[in-house]
Structure 1
Amino acid sequence: MAKKRSGGGLTTTQQAAKFLGVSVLSGAVLAGLALPAFGAFGLAAKGSVEGFDEIPSNLKTPPLSQRTTILDNQGGEIAKVYSRDRTVVPLKDISPYMQKALVAIEDARFYEHGAIDLKGVLRALNKNAQSGGVSEGASTLTQQYVKNVFIEEAGDDPDKVAQATQQTIGRKVKELKYAIQVEQELGKKRILNNYLNITFFGEQAYGVEAASQRYFSKHAKDLTLDESALLAGIVQSPTRYDPVNNRQEATKRRNTVLQRMAELHDITPAEAAAAKKKPIKLKITRPKNGCITAVNGAGFFCDYVREVFLRDKTFGKTKEERAKRWNQGGMTVRTTLDPQAQKSVQAGVKSHVYASDPVATAVTLVEPGTGKIRGMGQSRPYGFGKNETQINLSVDRNMGGGAGYLPGSTFKPFTAAAALENGMDNSQSYPSPNRMPYPTVSDCQGRSYSSNASVPNESPDEVGPYKMPEALKKSINTYFVSLEADTGLCNVTKMVNKLGMTKRAGGTEWGLGASYTLGVNEASPLNMSAAYAAFASRGKYCTPTALESVTDSNGKQLAVPQSTCTQAMSPKTADTINTMLKGVVDDGTGKAAGLTDGRDSAGKTGTTDNRYSAWYVGYTPNMAGAVWLGDPQHQVQMQGGITFGGKTYGKVYGADGPAPIWRDAVSGALVGKPADKFTTVPIASGKDGKDSKSDDGGGNAADAPDADGKGGKGHGGKPGGKHH
């Protein structure tokens, strides 16, 4: 095979010889003497390595993995995430003491030899021959840099890391080949700079800047002589010379570095002696990695941002590409999170539900008209300890959440919107008895769903006839199953789909039947808040979005996924819903959610089967939010005397826990924001044309025998058992 040539017409074999400082009679001689001369000492490498000239000559250097900083929409830091804590800095931003110390202790002849230090090789070979293996290396800084590149390229794959660090002749030969290339292409200063940025300094710190911050809480350019010597000494064995856990060994090693610097005339003997007398003074900055360190309870939002990045093809065609890009880091990710709204969400959560309570709550705020997520929090903190979790209770399973929760009567406005869109008037009246058989309904494929079960209203005195506004105020079950039957289940499901919910939160298909309108399919707080935001924006639904911008390590702006907005319903339909749901807050089951600053707000309560969950989903013209309260494991029933947030409740309705949480979260989020008004329309008044008093019962599917899908054929759809 013809030998590849580069640089002055020399073959790579001749280049190797030149760097080694020996004459070459043949490739075989070089293989026996210098690569790394194992054959000359009885350690033949026959069959164990590729031919030197057959190794590819281009070292593929991956971008160094660095920290990614996640910011809120005001530029405040939420968290830093990284697979390796590293901040790349130029040589001018690294203390000259650090540069000299590293060279002195790791490769004193760095500026004198080529890629290979022949004297070091021969010394090492002597010991290797005596031991019968590779007991000592003779790696120059250039070779060490190449090995670090192999390790960096291996990432977190343990098999690849093992291959990159194994003590074999084959790896050494490749290391040599690439070291020659690096010496030719980069030169000494760039090699030193790259080495100082790539190497591991212990305590999770990669590169000298991260190490300087970790041990001394200062920049690498500000390192003193004794500090530089300490860090340079760590490189050989980050565990043995760890100054945090083994100060005595670290001190000895530091002093060895100082002595070597004096011997090489990098510093004077007096400077070395003075530095040796100094005790090690650390100013530790503990590593803060990952969403668990996020401020203002934004750990789950931070995790959601990561999920968006890993799943959206904007950041790479395959999941492997996206994961690699995320792990490489070095990005600045500016998000939609509003720090004011986030603080308000957490304050609202903490004042009503404790982390140790038997039930949990989750809150998500979305901006109408943009889909921007402004707040996301929950009572169970992000973590691994008692009463902590890594499950984001606000989102669907595929984005780091669970199977979702039955939304109950908060689903009824979707049926009302579908009815209005299909020509009905809000004055539509139904007899709405206290209990009635479920009507037969059909889906978009023409399949019929019937049941022998009946649906009740919450209270015995809830007896019609009712019109739509009053039925929403009192949350009348029998009204809405009748309205759904006349509107058509197909039209109702189409409306729900237009509002961003095409499947259950757990990813399974809808369970269909006459009880669909009663909220018997699991949903997530994020999707419910985004759906209600469409009412606030006069019918325009926008997909939820968490990213404003992403900048890579070179300052280049990357494309980010954009919210997609569509007109899910006419402005007139939305205005009618807004007017009716405003009535729910003014004089209905949502009174406890009323804002005290005179702002318009609208919303709907919801309570589900056997009181495993309670909801309030509401909005103002410029903020929508959903609050869920319940047991994520679907085991604790909120009745019979349950205590959370320091208060005991008999039966929990959406008006009890969720509505006050929503009020507190949204009121704080909107301080200083415009107090816009809804566009209202005339609506039918009262029961039989008269306003009627509303209770706070929050009519729901809780007592409907079939509301959880366990009853008659084709009814409701089984919600999937326990919710996680």
Structure 2
Amino acid sequence: MAKKRAGGGLSPVQLAARFLGVSVLAGGVLAGIALPGVGALGLATKGTVKEFDEIPADLKRPPLTQRSKILDAKGGEIATVFYRDRTVVDRKDMSPYVQKALVAIEDSRFYEHGAIDLKGVLRAVNQNAQSGGVAQGASTLTQQYVKNVFIEEAGDDPDKVAQATQQTMGRKIQELKYAIQIEKELGKKKILENYLNITFFGQGAYGVEAASQRYFSKHAKDLTLDQSALLAGIVQSPTRYDPVNDPQEATQRRNTVLRRMAETHSITAAESKAAQAKPLGLKVTPQRSGCITASRGAGFFCDYVEHVFLSDPAFGKTKDDRLALWKRGGLTIQTTLDPQAQDSLQQSLSKHVYKTDRVTAAGTLVEPGTGKILAMGQATPYGTGKNQTLINYNVDHSMGGSNYGFQTGSTFKPFVAAAAIDKGMPPTKEYPSPYKMDYPSPVTTCEGTYTNNDGATVHNENESEKGPYVMKEAMAKSINTYFVSLISEVGICPVTQMTDKLHVIMGNGQKLPQQPSISLGSATLSPLTLSSAYAAFASRGTYCTPVAINSVTGMNGKPVPVPKSECQRAMSEKTADSISTLLNGVIDSGTGKEAGLGDRPSAGKTGTTDKRKNAWFAGYTPNLAAAVWVGSASQEVEMHDITIGGVYQEYVYGGQVPGPIWRDAMTGALAGKPTQNFHLVDIPDAKKKDKKKPGDKPDDNGGRGDDKPDNGGFVFGNGGDQGGRPSNPGQGNGDQGNGNGGNGNGQGGWFG
């Protein structure tokens, strides 16, 4: 009596047919597909060759996600970023051993069968005929490659990933249909190359090149026999055979691969035995991605580049489009970062402000006339560890910065002067400028009229600072009452119209408030905003929007459009030259003397906000502009009786801590660059001959010519109330009515 076959007497070929849903013609030929109840594919219980042919065979193979490189302007690598760590390489750049090892362990008859290996199917059917489930272990490398394409296309969508990996009859049939297509289109060698580039090898490594770098710190073309066998063995179960976490299991799996290679005659038995005797020999390179890997302290600049990429329509119409391109990777992003300028800025920041200090510092360098960001750094390193931060204090909140930016103090005064001069007011304009005065009222605004209903007052730092003053001396000494008088006569609207042309907005994205106190720096700005605006003075009145990216090359080697700087005239050349003349005097004989660049012409302005919570120096040469901020991110530290960078400071002023940072950063950045001159104009000095020179009286901080805190916090508090009412961070607490602002401690007035 004949032995009854498993599966109800069906022959192996018939069992295979049942497994695959195929019809069997005479001679046992697999003729067509009959899918038993696969509703997902919408086919009938019994099918035909025609129905199989109607299954869509257009397998879309999206470009594989790869690493992207972010480079500086000279081509040096700043950082590598990736969604999936993969570097696609040609088959010639893969060790022959790894190709042989993968075929031996995953599909030893790969070069002999077509899209489906019938013998493999029969083996699987004999093991699973009684289970009624889908046979396992029957997939060819081609079918596995198809499955990997599904997984790659699913991305990080859990529902799509689950669908791509489900073990159903419908999925098996779909894989087979696509496998047939792929075999026709690509051929065996290309399929193997694609498989080795797409598959996951564990430890975050996709593709054999990334895996080779991860486990052995070498290129895939240099893999030895034993190393190749290890990687080939990982593919089946990257977690189980992880050589880092379970070297014993990984060794056993590697040796299984080596024995299989000998059995299939890919290598000799002697080669297999010798390779099995070797230790794993791992030389692991940890997975590191993103701006945290940036060199030259350029993590914050790198972070800004990513924000630009994900927000600018040049890289895609929608946010999802831009994110998809960023994740797909394979990009070479050459930025505007100048390595010399970046090194100089970072060294200066680290020298003058320690990362363990109670305050930090941030600075940005911009090229006038082009808007190119040449350097961006912070004293607090980029990262998530102790004394590190991921917040970029150089930029607005929408680009990864703090919520508000930081009050700028007297660095805002040049904008008031520029608006006045551009409207025809002579820079010799004189005001009484008493030590203390009421805010003038009424004052015209873009929205109507400002009226000082609360009787708010403004005062200079010291009682000896009494006018009259003309603009040049008022700018050099940073006289508060002069600039409040100036904005009151010019009107607030012309000032904000000027700052609009200079793209000066607050760190939270809002426009400047229509209040006279903006003349004293009550608005909260970022260093990038301030340095870009000052660059317009350097370029004789032309403002250029800041740019961080020079070019982008896609994975296909073709250029990707990038945003370009938009330049426009913000003021007349005469106005810009007048401001440069005024600010040149600030460094020569005013509050910014400690920021001087020696023989190189420079211009700048100090800024110190009330209670010394922020200190600034912003300035420029004809070919480089920069802004440096010092303060606490929380705005809770008052910078007096404080040690910064190992140096005790009784009171911090804009010219005395940010100033030297600016000076040293600019000196190094400009080393070897040509010295250029300003187009200075003749602005007469003060008419009064008996006035003291800047810096020769105790109230000017011991003769050092430092800036004084600015007051005028009536906008958000009640003038006359001790400290005023509490307000939001960065917006000030009001003007104290007790007049303590003149004691040199910055008490009262605007602070944030």
In structure 1, give the amino acid aligned to 2:590.
G
Q: Distance in 2 between matches of 1:307 and 1:712?
A: 44
Q: Name the counterpart of 1:196.
A: 196
Q: Name the counterpart of 1:342.
A: 342
Q: Distance in 1 between matches of 2:417 and 2:459?
A: 19
Contact 2:520 2:711 in 1 (8 A): no
Q: Distance in 2 between matches of 1:274 and 1:613?
A: 68
Q: After TM superposition, which residue ranges in structure 1, 4 or more long, deviate above 6 angstroms?
A: 13-19, 716-719
Quick check: 1:635 aligned with 2:636?
yes
In structure 2, give the amino acid aligned to 1:463.
K
Q: Name the counterpart of 1:491.
A: 494
CA deviation after TM superposition for structure 1 residue 207, in Å: 0.7
CA deviation after TM superposition for structure 1 residue 283, in Å: 2.4
Change (3 A) 1:569 1:109: same
Q: Name the counterpart of 1:409.
A: 410
In structure 2, give the amino acid aligned to 1:460.
E
After superposition, where does 1:6-405 map in structure 2 within 5 Å?
23=29, 27=33, 30-32=34-36, 45-51=37-43, 55-131=55-131, 133-134=133-134, 136-402=136-402, 403-405=404-406
Q: Distance in 2 between matches of 1:647 and 1:530?
A: 30
Q: Distance in 2 between matches of 1:718 and 1:111?
A: 77
- Secondary structure of the equivalent of 1:385? coil
Q: Name the counterpart of 1:610.
A: 611
More divergent stretch after superposition (331-340 vs 697-706): 697-706
Q: Which of 580, 592, 595 is the aligned partner of 2:594?
A: 592
More divergent stretch after superposition (415-424 vs 166-175): 166-175
Change (3 A) 1:243 1:14: closer
Contact 2:258 2:272 in 1 (8 A): yes
More divergent stretch after superposition (266-275 vs 127-136): 127-136
Q: What do the CA deviations read for 1:402-434 (whole angstroms, capped 9, x no partner)? A: 120011110000000000100001100000011
CA deviation after TM superposition for structure 1 residue 133, in Å: 4.3
Quick check: 1:460 aligned with 2:463?
yes
Q: Distance in 2 between matches of 1:657 and 1:699?
A: 11
Change (3 A) 1:509 1:537: closer
In structure 2, give the amino acid aligned to 1:413.
P
Contact 1:518 1:700 in 2 (8 A): no
CA deviation after TM superposition for structure 1 residue 448, in Å: 3.1
Q: Which of 454, 470, 473 is the aligned partner of 1:470?
A: 473
CA deviation after TM superposition for structure 1 residue 655, in Å: 1.4
Q: Distance in 1 between matches of 2:470 and 2:660?
A: 28
Quick check: 1:420 aligned with 2:421?
yes
Q: What do the CA deviations read for 1:366-406 (whole angstroms, capped 9, x no partner)? A: 01111110110001111111221111110001111112001
In structure 1, give the amino acid aligned to 2:276.
K
In structure 1, give the amino acid aligned to 2:267.
I
Change (3 A) 1:612 1:55: farther
CA deviation after TM superposition for structure 1 residue 50, in Å: 3.4
CA deviation after TM superposition for structure 1 residue 126, in Å: 4.4
CA deviation after TM superposition for structure 1 residue 602, in Å: 0.8
- Secondary structure of the equivalent of 2:39? coil
Quick check: 1:620 aligned with 2:628?
no
- Secondary structure of the equivalent of 1:296? coil
Q: Name the counterpart of 2:714.
A: 706
More divergent stretch after superposition (684-693 vs 312-321): 684-693
Contact 2:199 2:235 in 1 (8 A): yes
Q: Distance in 2 between matches of 1:16 and 1:355?
A: 70
More divergent stretch after superposition (240-249 vs 543-552): 240-249
CA deviation after TM superposition for structure 1 residue 682, in Å: 0.4
TM-score (norm 2): 0.88
Contact 1:407 1:608 in 2 (8 A): yes
In structure 2, give the amino acid aligned to 1:514.
P
Q: Distance in 1 between matches of 2:35 and 2:635?
A: 69
- Secondary structure of the equivalent of 1:706? helix
Contact 2:406 2:730 in 1 (8 A): no
Q: Distance in 2 between matches of 1:717 and 1:565?
A: 42
After superposition, where does 1:424-435 map in structure 2 within 5 Å?
424-435=425-436
CA deviation after TM superposition for structure 1 residue 286, in Å: 2.5
Q: Which of 718, 721, 724 is the aligned partner of 2:729?
A: 721
Q: Name the counterpart of 2:13.
A: none
Change (3 A) 1:136 1:72: same
More divergent stretch after superposition (266-275 vs 541-550): 266-275
Contact 1:705 1:711 in 2 (8 A): yes
CA deviation after TM superposition for structure 1 residue 508, in Å: 2.5
CA deviation after TM superposition for structure 1 residue 95, in Å: 1.4
- Secondary structure of the equivalent of 1:363? strand
In structure 2, give the amino acid aligned to 1:704.
G
In structure 2, give the amino acid aligned to 1:288.
R
Q: Distance in 2 between matches of 1:253 and 1:706?
A: 75
In structure 2, give the amino acid aligned to 1:513.
Q
Contact 1:477 1:699 in 2 (8 A): no
CA deviation after TM superposition for structure 1 residue 263, in Å: 0.9
CA deviation after TM superposition for structure 1 residue 699, in Å: 5.1
Q: Distance in 2 between matches of 1:379 and 1:462?
A: 35
Change (3 A) 1:705 1:534: closer
Q: Distance in 1 between matches of 2:249 and 2:20?
A: 43
Change (3 A) 1:295 1:691: farther
Quick check: 1:547 aligned with 2:533?
no
Change (3 A) 1:690 1:153: farther
CA deviation after TM superposition for structure 1 residue 348, in Å: 0.6
Contact 1:520 1:708 in 2 (8 A): no
Q: Distance in 2 between matches of 1:621 and 1:18?
A: 84
Q: What do the CA deviations read for 1:107-154 (whole angstroms, capped 9, x no partner)? A: 111112222223323433444455564573422111111111111112
Q: What do the CA deviations read for 1:438-475 (whole angstroms, capped 9, x no partner)? A: 12322223243434201111111111111001110111
Change (3 A) 1:22 1:477: farther
CA deviation after TM superposition for structure 1 residue 272, in Å: 1.2
Change (3 A) 1:254 1:26: closer
Q: Distance in 2 between matches of 1:88 and 1:106?
A: 21
Which ranges of structure 2 fall in alignment gaps of 5 or more residues? 1-18, 44-51, 732-751
CA deviation after TM superposition for structure 1 residue 47, in Å: 3.4
TM-score (norm 1): 0.91
- Secondary structure of the equivalent of 1:143? helix
Change (3 A) 1:363 1:226: same
Q: Distance in 2 between matches of 1:131 and 1:53?
A: 29
- Secondary structure of the equivalent of 2:424? coil
Change (3 A) 1:610 1:95: same
Q: Which of 484, 487, 496 is the aligned partner of 1:481?
A: 484
Contact 1:353 1:360 in 2 (8 A): yes
Q: Which of 582, 585, 591 is the aligned partner of 2:584?
A: 582
Contact 2:358 2:637 in 1 (8 A): yes
More divergent stretch after superposition (670-679 vs 52-61): 52-61
Q: What do the CA deviations read for 1:146-174 (whole angstroms, capped 9, x no partner)? A: 11111111222233223222333333333
Which ranges of structure 1 fall in alignment gaps of 5 or more residues? 1-12, 33-44
Q: Distance in 2 between matches of 1:479 and 1:717?
A: 27
